[in-house]
Structure 1
């Protein structure tokens, strides 16, 4: 088994462990992967996800996401995960910069990125910009559930505008 195949297999095992709620096991697998190849960027994304979502250690998660971006800037998943963390932390300037980058990455689902822009603007009270981005999310999907969610989000923003 070659080096890359072994890492992919370990990553699959770590994902399975996360899915089954065995977070420490996943962490151990991912830490072992870093020892094997510290430049394999996907590892840092998955470890960052673990720290962000399961351990609620946002700073550590952010550090790991940044390492993933540095080592694997073409890996689409990092843009979704890191954008959610930046949104959670209210780091709007960094989030906008990350989303701007994401739109140029092959394999990134544009509707998801537009949705993240929209959430960012809605959380800042920039409702017209949020509506525009929810519209972009809807226009850039072939998935009915995503389209329905975009329409509901637009309606929510319009309702909020009535409160002003």
Structure 2
């Protein structure tokens, strides 16, 4: 498993720990590791077959860049948009106390239920844009790349300890 997603393959976000589960669905080995505060060895990923887009040759001045408001957002709900093969509708906690709705065309890479509870990064000061009759109020940040000739995409997810609304600099 390479850790990258392509449109033709669905990769779970977490590896099973030998498939051992208790009645509440938690791996006993994972529970023991948590009790002993043991850190798992990070998965080694081979990046030799990954192709990325070249960097932009044009520079963006700092003033233009700093106008974008990047925030940590928590996924409260996520569902497929009816009559759309690509769009997912996210209901997000952006720290303001009011739910934010963002649509993203990443359904070919993720199932909605696997994203609920995740902490992602969004640009929150974009004007609303109607898609499929629904206003999308922002943009979720993803990394796009090519693996073995196929496009891959990973939604940028961060540590769940980062609170909703935290500003990125």
TM-score, L = length of structure 2: 0.19
Higher helix proportion, which one?
A: 1
Higher relative contact order (CA 8 A, sep 6+): 2
TM-score, L = length of structure 1: 0.20
Higher strand proportion, which one?
A: 2
